Amino acid sequence: MPELAKLLRVVVASPGDVQAERDVVPIVVEEINRWIASFLGLRFEVARWETDSYPAFHVEGPQGLIDGILRIEDSDILVGIFWKRFGTPTKHGTTGTEHEIRQAYDAWKKNNRPQVMVYFNQKPYSPTSKQETDQWGQVLEFKKAFPAEGLWWPYRGKTDFERLLRNHLINFVRDNYMTGGPPTLSPNSAVVQQMLLLRPRPASLSGAMRDYTNLRNGWVSDRMVTSERDVLQ
C-alpha cells in the first residue's frame, strides 16, 4: 500500500490590492506538487480565507472565524504579500493581514513553524488621496519595523512574484526535506518520462522543468530552460 504524502499547509495573508498575487499562489503550489513534491513524498495545500471560509457569526467577529479556519499555528508556511494597502482594522485594532502575520511570527518563536515568507511589491505607485497615502504609509512602517529575525523579499509585479515564490518554495523543500542530498534520476526513469508526457501551460512547463533540474543539482538559478533536453542532462 503506497505511503501517504506528508501534508504541508501554506496560508496566504494579504490585503485585497494584491489579489492577482494571491491567485498565483495555488497555481505555483500545484506545479510544485506535480513536479517536485510528489517525488519526495510531500504535498502542499493552500489555505485562503476567500476559498476556505464561509458565511457565519463568531464572537470575535469575522477575523475570529477566519483564524479558526486558517489554523495558522498549525501551518508550515505563511506567505504574506503587500503593495499599497495595509488593510482594514479589526476589532482588536490591527488589520487582518497584520494580525495573521503576527500570529505566524508568535507561533514561529514558540515552535519554529510556520516559516514566514513576506513579500513587498516594489512596482511604482502614486497615491491619489489621503486615504491611499495613509494606507501606503502603514505598509512602509510595517516594513521598517519588520522583526530582526526575518528576511522580507521585494518583487515587481505578478510575474516576478510567481517566479520568486516558485524558487523560494523549492529552496524550502531543499533545505528542510532533502538533508540526505538531492535525488538523482536516470533519463529513462518513470518519473522523468512522466514529466515529459505531461503538458501544462507553456509558462508553467518551462518554470517547473527548470526548477526540477536545479533542485536535482541542489541549487536554484535564473537560467531559463530552452528545451526538454535540459531536464535530462
Q: Identify the structural domains of the chain with CATH numbers, from first to last.
A: 6-181 (3.40.50), 186-233 (no CATH)
Nearest-angstrom CA–CA distance, 157 and 171: 21
State the cell numbers at 31.
506545479
- What's the pLDDT at 178? 82
Q: What is the pLDDT of residue 165?
A: 97
Q: What is the pLDDT of residue 15?
A: 96
Q: Is the distance from CB of 113 to CB of 107 less than 8 angstroms?
A: yes
Q: Is 216 exposed, middle or buried (0-12, 13-18, 19+ CB in 10 A)?
A: middle
Q: Tell me, what's the pLDDT at 233?
A: 33
Nearest to 22 by CA among 42, 48, 3: 48
pLDDT of residue 3: 60
Contact (Cβ atoms closer than 8 angstroms) between residue 133 and residue 127: yes
CA angle 201, 154, 40 (to 5 degrees): 50
Give pLDDT, residue 73: 95
pLDDT averaged per 10 residues, the chain (length 233): 79 96 97 89 94 90 89 97 93 88 96 97 94 96 95 97 97 86 49 45 46 49 35 32
Question: Are residues 105 and 147 in contact, defined by beta-carbon separation less than 8 angstroms?
Answer: yes
Contact at 8 Å (CB) between 55 and 119? no
- Cα 214 from Cα 209, distance rounded (Å): 9
| DSSP assignment letter at 6 | E
pLDDT at 180: 58
Task: Provide the pLDDT for residue 84.
Answer: 97
**Rama region for 117: left / alpha / beta (φ>0; ψ in -120 to 50; rest):** beta
What angle is formed at CA 31 by the lines to CA 180 and CA 187, rounded to 5 degrees?
A: 55
